Amino acid sequence: MNQKSRQNMKVMGETQSEGGVFDQVRIMGECTITGSVEANSCKVMGECVVSGDLCSDYFRNMGEAAIDGRLAAAESRFMGETRVKGDCALKKSSIYGELFAGRNLTGEDLTVRGMLHVAGDVSLETLDMRGGIYVEGMLNCDDVSITLKINTDHYVNEIGAGRVSIKRKHALFSAAPTKHFRAETIEGDHVSLEFTEAKVVRGVDVEIADGCSIGRVEYSGFYKTSGHFDVGQVVRLDHKTN
């Protein structure tokens, strides 16, 4: 189907529809779509269930969306609740509501102000997080910037990155969050941590600051500490050349 022949789908009430290839999809009521959907633009302002995959250049959910297959979007904004059973391929996306990914999530730039839950691995170029995150697998990212702003559980099984910064927001007019960021392993070229619990932290340059509880630190560049923290073992790794 070529670009000019694409039709629009607009749902106002409660209905069922078949999947297909569309220009614009607008869900303002309750809709169950049987099959997969491909669209230039898809906006959900009600409730939508897709039994297959959803592929859209632009995807925006301000309601409730459930996708049984894969979600792929060049640009996406999640303001409601989105549950995806398959993989998520999101080039540039922002989360102000909740996104649940049943498998892996891949993309370029991800901004999180709400909640992100991923059952598999996450692979990104940049992550800017001031919400909540729970990743059961590995977070692989060039640049990880996490600010602990809300008092919720934060957990990533393993982080591998070029730069990792985890800080607690120091609030002036409200209580600062008290829950720590938790990880099994954090590894990067430059690692700077506050209010973080981890078994192993490994990097070239490592900074451990207030509120950290780390089992073992391995570094090969510089190692700096500040504030109140607990580190079990510190090992300097020397680079040997033949």
Domain ranges within the chain, ordered by starting residue? 1-95, 104-242
Q: What is the DSSP string of the chain?
A: --GGGPEEEEE-SEEEEEEEEEEEEEESSEEEEEEEEEEEEEEESSEEEESS-EEEEEEEESSEEEESS-EEEEEEEE-SEEEESS-EEEEEEEESSEEEESS-EEEEEEEESSEEEESS-EEEEEEEESSEEEEEEEEEEEEEEEEE-SSS-EEEEEEEEEEEEEEE---SSSPPP-PPEEEEEEEEEEEEESSEEEEEEEEEEEEE-TT-EEEEEEESS-EEE-SS-EEEEEEE------
pLDDT digits (tens, 9 = 90+) for 220-234: 999 999 999 999 999
pLDDT (0 to 100) of residue 59: 98
Supply the mean pLDDT for the chain: 93
What pLDDT is attached to residue 170? 75
pLDDT band at 240 (very low <50, low <70, confident <90, very high): low
Q: Per-residue pLDDT for 172 more than 90? A: no
Calculate mean pLDDT across residues 119-138: 97
pTM above 0.85, yes or no: yes
